[in-house]
Structure 1
């Protein structure tokens, strides 16, 4: 089996290995999933908890059990007709520590390395100190300070058989070209030290052993004499390094370590010698804060321990994918999930190449497998209305788009205005989310990604210099215009073909262009017009053929050497690539990692793949998105939780209820703020800053900045407390509340730093953070159990039943809608997790297995707080997909009209394949439907009155059976199905006709 009907995502690490996963295969099978969807399986930095810091593409991670354990897991799955989808990371590799052989080779040999073109490095940096080097921004303080403190040392590494510079866990190989100088300096220094020791001992001549060691060092040094870094000298260098290995075998490592004392940082002369040696290397050690301004290689976002690889190069692609392709050919895996597709130079070309390579291996797969086509999905953030390009040969996205759709569907548009007013009041600002994003983009571009901005600007400046008409366009003028294009770009990036924008690209580029033109002074309009042409517009050279091998985003056209050999079209392609690889991380960092933590109207809309400004989605629009997916990418993943989500799916479902009681929530927020005012901490120095900073003396500014955590952060904190309060937590349970507070405190710290307002990751305000933490623990202190804690738990009880209805709604929609439903580990029960690492805590699969029963989930509704009803809905719905796979994988999608008094409270659609139907019906906006005296998340059937679903004519007068409960509602002669006859035992129903296997 290669095409999944459902997947379950597992986060693998050394605490949860392939064998640990294999121990629960019976549960996964019984649950009804067809494929395990595994986090990256290639070798990562030791201790990695996520696997996205790959250091070796060629081997299965030994910390996970290695290839033997992976194959054991695959065999266990295959025995149950199940398979594996593996996460792959083609965009970047981990370079922290000393584990990445490709990166170490570059540090050692620079642009002469065999892997110099594997990474996206600008070897022609405009900074003379970086030409031919890579910046190594790993130091905890400035270089001079760390050197003086003796934290940068020279030593011999026996595993690598190399002389290396060390700093903390980082290792930097010294180029063997310098070994002769190092060894001869060491010999001279050793002779002086030996002479001094003999003088102290009253001896006049060196010992025979000292003579032999000195002579051996001289012989060893001679092996490196005259060595250069040129590739044709590599065999000689290897011979010399083998001689070094032999020397260590004969004389011991101590002999080398003692010899390196001449480069000790302990004395001024030897420290200066060490400094001069380091300055000659192909790396430049630097303070970590220099990376934003000076890094000369592409990173993953702004993370300086993840270096981007050039997957567009054939040799890099083959090396990075050989293992995955072999595992597919052997039938170990059935498909892949491509991480961060927008980081690649040309996602379209990459997907085409990957599909071709997989197709070549389909015939090699074991013959007993049911089907051979590889399943391929991409991690892609799509804006509302943006479509995944149809010419990418993939099965769709990983489901952020569905998560956005179903999340917006849960929000009542009638609450938007009141929630907006409350937020504006509490935050003392009327800034919209779009405005927050714009401000965040400017800040991130200036503080986190200026080096990336400068690289893109340089590419455009080279184009300007090639034409007499534009050669006077200055670097700074181009940079300013480019900033405005980037900050206003409405989607992650564009995807030009041969340097030309596509029709879809043009729509988004034009939006950015017009916005940039509106804010730029008229003097810059000419520059902006040229950027329009050079960045994929219809310029005079746009149709020139691209030279073979063109397309690199850094080396291909950076610096004088490349400029002399490049064509105008190649320069345009490079400029397009650099612009695309700038806007993608800019969008991610500014929106998800900044604006999401500044704008808190309703946190349930602040989710990866969503736009909080896009508050709600109508049922009709939801149907349209499902129809589009069914027609274009029917096998895309559909998800409601991922390893990257900001808050768990049930947190969002509960918070969405606040849109139904917006005025009540606003009053509650104000009351809690007043109640907890005595526990606020005056942020050290904050009042003085508020008086001095603009707007000077402004009362609202003082309210937000004069105390910790501040009004806006406090309001967001209350949402978080409401959203993630566990069902089983009693306010009188001091230990339980303290553990809960600690989880929230970890979220709060991350939220405050990500907001980048009063503290940041780069420059944390520890006093403010401590004061904010103290406020949190004070309001949740045991003595508050009859005050705020009681009010908090009572309010959670007020919205929890409607939140559970929302949870069951999105659970059922995910499984019944077009696409392949994806479950994130542990979310089979209620998931009140927060952002990572909270959402990656260990999962008790044994508990879930014990709770799994074959009885209808409606029987668990009375015990709904323990989550078994959610588990039951998942189990039964996945079972229906298993017994009728064609109905959901191939079946059409039919939106169903709902009529009657409470029509807006119902979502309904049908899936059809041939004569078979499945009807999904679910409760929406349940808060006002639930009886106050009831304790279950279910509206009394009588509430629905005349509300009815209009079914296809073929089902008129038919009896249907609910897959989730014992119900058997009857369709009337006009094809109407009354909701009061359907939603009698659960707030959701999945109806089929008699005769479906398993009924």
Structure 2
């Protein structure tokens, strides 16, 4: 199997195992997908629902059934001629608890541990208390409180002959070097550990001593000695606490309150998650150790491709991808003969967030991204640009906040950098400060001044990161770096500009010994002349200083400079993710359908021409990239976004509705500390205007089309789900509450408000209005959903379905989007659909989602029937003419003599009646609107793969009323392509 025709993403965990997936393979095959695409299968933290907290790269997770279950799953897939793609996590591992043997090794032996260089630890912290130690920020309260409260204990593991410091589910090993001090009550035991050091040569002796300890401790006298030792370290007495504390102070870790991590952590985390530690996969031995299982499974033919998680967290994404590509192609020759690819190519995609205009680098040698860029494009396409300004003005009026998302994002970036990632900022600054100290003429650049300029560069960085090659920024890097540099220059005081320019050079600019002095990259063309002159003067001064100190700077021109660039890039990525996706997107609510992973809410809409351009670029550069519209990380389901996007088409009606609902529910507003609000002050009531406005959008977006307002059980179930979303949204916004410092009274007041407005007694008030509004908006949302679904299934790339989204996807942010999927219902409906024929047969009961399932199944069938057409066929945007041309998108796929024409209704509000019962524009409303077909299809009869329609082109023109008479979308093929 080579490039997938299509994939179906499955989230595996203990309640949905590999055997559970195997039982569904026949359904997946009937649906038409060619590859199952599963979340990480390596061993994760016990109970993990996502698998990204890997604790053991060398074993398939026993909670998923282990390797035997994987083999059973693959056997089922092969029987249906299907393949398997697995998600791998090279960037980080789970380090909470005590399940990660590699992490436990460095806790036990420190910098001399066998795995010390597997994790990205700064063993040379400027903090004396952390020098040679790892910060362990896993305590629920301050160290002193937990120690005195008896929560931190010395325990003996009889089966391992090992002492550990126990704290709830955590177990921190005691270094064997300290066992003699522990054994003061049992000197005969201490002798076996006497003279040990942390040096690697001594570590096997420690293992032998522990083996002997297991035997001795099993005797009656040994048990008594162990009990005496534990009693001597008990926190029940001041002497015991003091002794336990002194023992802890000698370890290679420092136990600390979890809140210290943001300021003091001395190892790289995944974003700001202190239970996920960064892995140094750039080291060859780490690469091999962390990929050994995947390479074996690939060689044996159990997996066919990989999806790499969070590639931007790696030190060198380019080099990592190239290395992984080389190893996979090398191993492909050893795969079972039936699975070998003729060209040795293995499918390999990366999770990468791309900014608008940012290309995925071709020299990475990957097949593309996992599809966030497509999700952003098609999501923006669903929005009416005419709604942007009135909805932004409405948001500003209701909330008193800025109408511009960029303002909210900048504020969030500053907050995240200052409060969540301060330790990481310090680490970048230290790396640059060391470089400065190595040169005579930059040695007076202070740590604080460097920190200021780095902070400004980071908060203004327009993309996740850059990728210098040979320590020098490429032209593509420079385009984005210059934006941050110009913004930082405009923000910083003039006195810092010389430091800023020097830092910019260290972060990938060409140093004087690498290029002529006059060959500087031109930046800030649009700045005022005076600022430009000041900038040039400062830049020249910095270059002069660097030239004068060139000899002194030689040691830092290589490894130190690369290290600083890596640390900088590993900071800009999490700041962007945490500030934009996980903070600003929960603060700004013009339309939350644009507040999605990989999207810029400041970019409201995308034109058809720009959408076509994006598809053509993807086809030229990465024709096999994934195309997704829902993921395990999405903030709201694909059909929730599609329905909310429809509000852009009716901004005035939505504004009136929003004001009306807010007025209607004003008596139910809660005071910040509970009870009904007594004033209208923005800070005196819950949830507050911004959270209230986003709550109404959420209810509109996720309200099931089949839910009646008098269905008390159904409404309550929905309210519970929305409450879960609301809690996460409020905490992620980090305004009046947060994960770091939750305001539980405010959160409860917000929940009470939600349950009040949807309580049974409101069924003739707000609930009735909400249900009626959704009924009005539902057909518009469905038109958007049909468009989004068909474009994903036919555009250049590999369409990816997220589990369960073959029916309407009204899910919210995780864990809601990871709820159990009713595959039995889907299997049943799919069988009925296959009997009834075309998807158009299901349009009458569109509210239950069967018609979407039918479209997915039929489009995937065509992809299988005309595989080369969609895998290699060129993408041809088609011109639409006539009075309603703005409400249609059309394109063709073409390979050889084969064509497929895709037509979809868009922005349908002016064409649908207010009381429309179907998401279908009446044929007469299209008037003379027509699609201009390629010459090869002139005057040809076409057959719709989704309906019985057989529209015939009149010369070059295909009338839309003929193409879209039965469905809001059409997938047309020429005569001769048999219908399923």
CA contact (8 A) 1:930 1:938 kept: yes
1:490 counterpart residue number: 462
Q: Are 1:960 and 2:942 an aligned pair? A: yes
- Separation of aligned partners in 1, 2:219 and 2:326: 52
Q: How much does 1:360 deviate?
A: 1.1
User: Paired residue for 2:393, among 403, 411, 421?
Assistant: 421
**Equivalence for 1:363:** 333
Q: Matched residues in 1 for 2:431 and 2:372: separation? A: 33
* SS of residue in 1 equivalent to 2:390: helix
How does 1:761-776 map onto structure 2 within 5 Å? 761-776=739-754
For the residue of structure 2 that corresponds to 1:645, the secondary structure is coil
Q: Which runs of 5+ in 1 are unaligned?
A: 188-217, 545-562, 691-698
1:435 aligns with 2:407: yes
Partner of 1:470: 442
- In the TM superposition, residue 750 of structure 1 has moved relative to its aligned partner by 0.6
| Structure-to-structure mapping, 1:45-64, within 5 angstroms | 45-64=45-64
Q: Which one of the candidate residues 194, 204, 217 is aligned to 1:248? A: 217
Compare 227-236 and 47-56 and name the one that shifted more.
227-236
1:291-330 residue pairs with structure 2 within 5 A? 291-330=261-300
1:285 equivalent to 2:255? Answer yes
Q: Distance in 2 between matches of 1:9 and 1:235?
A: 44
- Describe how 1:296-695 pairs up with structure 2 within 5 A: 296-369=266-339, 371=341, 372-541=344-513, 567-684=556-673
Contact kept, 8 Å, 1:40 with 1:50, in 2: the verdict is yes
For residue 565 of structure 1, report the CA deviation from its aligned partner.
12
Contact 2:674 2:745 in 1 (8 A): no
SS of 1:435 mapped into structure 2? helix
SS of 1:98 mapped into structure 2:
coil
Q: 1:18 maps to which residue?
A: 18
Q: Does 1:270 align with 2:240?
A: yes
In the TM superposition, residue 368 of structure 1 has moved relative to its aligned partner by: 1.2
Deviation at 1:2, TM superposition (A): 2.9
Equivalent residue, structure 2, for 1:879: 861
* Superposed displacement of residue 542, structure 1: 5.2
Residue 985 (structure 1) aligned to one of 953, 966, 969: 966
Number of equivalent positions: 938
> Match for residue 758 of structure 1?
736
CA distance in 1 between counterparts of 2:223 and 2:375 reads 57
- Alpha-carbon deviation of 1:259? 2.8
1-structure distance, mates of 2:234, 2:2 = 58
Distance 1:102 1:540 in 2: 43
Correspondence 1:920-999 to 2 at 5 A: 920-973=902-955, 975-998=956-979
Partner Cα separation in structure 2 for residue 292 and residue 429 of structure 1:
28
After the TM superposition, which of the residue ranges 251-260 and 585-594 deviates more from structure 2? 251-260
Look up the match of 2:539. Answer: none
SS of the residue corresponding to residue 353 of structure 2 reads: coil
Matched, 1:708 2:708: no
CA drift of 1:934 comes to 3.6
- Output the CA distance in 2 between the equivalents of 1:979 and 1:254: 88
Q: Is the 8 A contact 2:435 2:556 kept in 1?
A: no
Structure 1 residues 323 and 804, CA gap change in structure 2 (3 angstroms): same
Per-residue CA deviation, residues 19-57 of structure 1 (Å, 9 max, x unaligned), is: 000001000000000000000000001110000000000
Deviations 1:292-316 (A, max 9, x none): 0000000000000000000000000
Which of 173, 178, 191 is the aligned partner of 1:222?
191
1:386 Cα deviation from its structure 2 partner: 0.6
Q: Quick one: distance in 2 between partners of 1:457 and 1:962?
A: 61
User: Once the 2 structures are TM-superposed, how far is the Cα of residue 704 of structure 1 from its aligned partner?
Assistant: 2.5
Contact (CA 8 Å) 1:535, 1:572: kept in 2 or not?
yes
How do residues 97-136 of structure 1 correspond to structure 2 at under 5 angstroms? 97-136=97-136
Deviation, 1:431, is 4.3
Change (3 A) 1:959 1:639: same
Match of 1:239 among 189, 192, 208: 208
In the TM superposition, what is the alpha-carbon distance from 1:493 to its structure 2 partner?
0.4
- The reply on whether 1:80 has 2:61 as its aligned counterpart is no
Cα distance in 1 for residues equivalent to 2:829 and 2:51: 30
C-alpha separation between the residues in 2 aligned to 1:814 and 1:469?
A: 56
Deviation at 1:374, TM superposition (A): 1.2
Describe the SS at the equivalent of 1:90: coil
SS in 1 for 2:407: helix
**Alpha-carbon offset, residue 850 of structure 1:** 0.6
Q: Distance in 2 between matches of 1:475 and 1:736?
A: 58
Helix, strand or coil for the counterpart of 2:634?
A: coil
Q: Provide the C-alpha distance between the structure 1 equivalents of 2:179 and 2:753, rounded to a whole number of angstroms.
A: 58
| Cα deviation digits, residues 726-749 of structure 1 (max 9, x gap) | 112111011111111111011111
Between the aligned partners of 1:360 and 1:988, the Cα distance in structure 2 is 44
Which of 875, 893, 901 is equivalent to 1:919?
901
**8 A Cα contact 1:186 1:261, kept in partner:** no
CA distance in 2, matches of 1:343, 1:227: 38
Root-mean-square deviation over aligned CA pairs: 1.7
Question: Does the CA contact (< 8 Å) of 2:333 and 2:340 recur in 1?
Answer: no
* C-alpha distance in structure 2 between counterparts of 1:435 and 1:484, whole Å: 15
Paired with 2:141 and 2:478, the residues of 1 have a C-alpha distance of 45
Deviations along 1:332-383, one digit per CA (max 9) or x if unpaired, are 1100000000000000000000011101111111111262521000000001
Aligned equivalents of 1:723 and 1:934: distance in 2? Answer: 18
Shift of 1:703: 3.6
User: How far apart, CA to CA, are the structure 2 residues paired with 1:682 and 1:534?
Assistant: 52
Aligned to 2:815: 837
Q: Is the 8 A contact 2:670 2:676 kept in 1?
A: no
Deviation string, structure 1 residues 407-450 (Cα, Å, up to 9, x no partner): 00000011111111111111112341001110000000000000
Alpha-carbon distance, 1:467 to partner: 0.8
* Distance in 2, Cα, partners of 1:543 & 1:242: 61
**Structure 1: distance between partners of 2:298 and 2:159:** 33
- Secondary structure of 1:87's aligned partner: strand
Other-structure match for 1:800: 778
1:138/1:285 contact within 8 Å kept: yes
- Consecutive unaligned residues of structure 2, counting only runs of 5 or more, are 517-551
| Counterpart in the other structure of 1:175 | 175
CA distance in 2 between counterparts of 1:255 and 1:906 reads: 82
Does residue 1:732 correspond to 2:710, yes or no?
A: yes
| TM-score with structure 2 setting the length | 0.94
Cα separation, partners in 2 of 1:518 and 1:873, compared to 1, 3 Å:
same
Q: Supply the distance in 2 between the matched residues of 1:161 and 1:847 (Cα, whole angstroms).
A: 53
Measure, in 2, the Cα distance between the counterparts of 1:926 and 1:319.
54
TM-score by length of 1: 0.92
Matched, 1:156 2:156: yes
Q: Is the 8 A contact 1:944 1:980 kept in 2?
A: yes
How has the CA–CA distance of structure 1 residues 45 and 564 changed in structure 2, closer, same or farther, with 3 Å as cutoff? farther
